[in-house]
Chains A and B, each alone.
Chain A
Amino acid sequence: MINKKVDNVQDALQGVKSGMTMLLGGFGLCGIPENAISELVALNVKNLTCISNNAGVDDFGLGLLLQKHQIKKMISSYVGENDEFERQMLSGELDVELIPQGTLAERCRAAQAGFPAIYTPAGYGTEVAEGKETREFDGKMYVLEHAFKADFSFVKAWKGDAAGNLIFKGTARNFNPNMCGAAKITVAEVEELVPVGALDPNQIHIPGIFVQRIFQGKDYEKRIEQRTITPKN
């Protein structure tokens, strides 16, 4: 067993510097690396390029970094629900690149899997494809999209062990597995760090080889953006 366990979020974020490019897991507020985001706020690193499907809400998730003007550029597929984001985007303080959700996932996966680029049909014929190489395969047009190059990946899992093995829960899985191993250093925070040997190898979603540092997360808020219910009758 190669030990990836670090004692706390401070140790996990060693080496994070201003100007770096970060991959951050999560869809909306579901499955976001809450502890890593709090520590990025505490470190007050600036000029970050953040690649994440969404940009949080005003007072939670990546919204916390936006409040402190730590993000220079966001690469996302959907960025509603955040007034401060909107203000910074309209005033030109924040550079925003919107890309299709599946392309975002696949550019992570390409980085993880060692592909320099992939062809996708998404965005062909739209402004997303402007300036990009296109190619026809079997009569259909595709756009060349490059693998992300990032310094850190911050992911959140449900359970993990010191070997870095991860298991995700529900739809909190989303981009997290695709971002593991897609940056120079992958930092995983888990709700429950279990003893090595406690996880069934058959059930592991991400093998520890894709993770450099893992730590026991704490104080998870796990906010719900749209609480919708079926009335009991």
Chain B
Amino acid sequence: MLDKNGIAKRIAKEVKNGYYVNLGIGIPTLVANFVREDIEVEFQSENGILGMGPFPFEGEEDADLINAGKQTITALDGASYFDSAMSFSMIRGQHVDLTILGAMEVAENGDIANWKIPGRLVKGMGGAMDLVASADNIIVAMMHTNKKGDSKLLKRCSLPLTGVNCVKKIVTNLAVLEVTNEGFKLLERAPGVSVDTILEATEGHVVFEGDVPEMKL
């Protein structure tokens, strides 16, 4: 079974040379730490920077330079700043190659819910609805089950949706799965996790072919 860094490490292998990538808050943010150093990748933050760098050293924080999580950041050489409409032109116009975000629930048809729990305080969707409605390549990073132990990979989402038919791939602490017309296709198992364990933790329909390989991290 993987921890959050393990999930991020596995997702980092999906980041290819020449990609512009938008990382959501939480586990997705960790992905930046594991991207190969020999490839060229730029991170976009939807509040208006392309070419986002690491957190600044103490004393070098700039109130005018933050990411979408409102954290102080730095800009790498070649970075650019832009307004919010242009930022979402990059996203909606499918110029961003890969979107990695967290979720509360994913359904076997690719629906995603990650912004609202009825009866609980709603903070808002931020840019999530724009990202999931537009991106061609969406990977969800999340734990396979919630804190109560219930599956987060469902036949249908029970929570209010963020987007429909949009998730392509899911990386959890247990497995890598792809959304297909037949349901969740199990591609890889986390180290030491059996297919049965994954099936048990998945409410939605799972399909797989032959021996499911273990992830290489």
Contacts and interface: CB of A to CB of B under 8 A. Distances in A.
Interface of A: 27-31, 53, 76-80, 86, 89-90, 98, 100-106, 108-109, 120-128, 158, 168-178, 205, 222-232
B125 A78 contact: yes
Contacts of A123: 129, 133
A173 B82 contact: yes
A103 B49 CA distance: 18
Contacts, number: 173
Contact of A77 (B126, B161, B162, B164): B126
A105 B84 CA distance: 6
Given A27-B48, A170-B64, A101 B160 contact: no
Given A126-B162, A226-B72, A121 B49 contact: no
Contacts of A78: 123-126
B119 to A, nearest CB: 11
A228 B63 CA distance: 11
A227 to B, nearest CB: 6
Interface string B194-210: 00000000000000000
Interface stretch (B8-16, B53-61, B138-146, B170-178): B53-61
Contacts of A126: 129, 160-164
Given A90-B121, A121-B134, A229-B72, A102 B92 contact: yes
Contact of B70 (A100, A109, A226, A229): A226
Contact of A101 (B55, B71, B127): B127
Interface string B32-47: 0000000000000111
A53 B48 CA distance: 13
Contacts of A121: 92, 133-134
Interface string B47-85: 111000011111001111111111111010000011111
Interface string B105-130: 00000010000000001111111111
A140 to B, nearest CB: 9
Contacts of A223: 63
B104 interface: no
Interface residues of B, number: 51
B184 interface: no
Nearest to A171: B48
Given A125-B163, A174-B47, A222 B64 contact: yes
A88 B207 CA distance: 48
B61 A229 contact: yes
A30 B47 contact: yes
A171 B50 CA distance: 10
Contact of A30 (B54, B64, B83, B160): B64
B101 interface: no
A176 B87 CA distance: 13
A178 B83 contact: yes
A29 B127 CA distance: 17
B181 to A, nearest CB: 16
B84 A174 contact: yes
A102 B121 CA distance: 22
B91 interface: yes
A128 to B, nearest CB: 6
A158 to B, nearest CB: 8
A74 to B, nearest CB: 10
A77 B125 contact: yes
A29 B63 CA distance: 9
A226 B84 contact: no
Given A121-B134, A125-B164, A106 B85 contact: yes
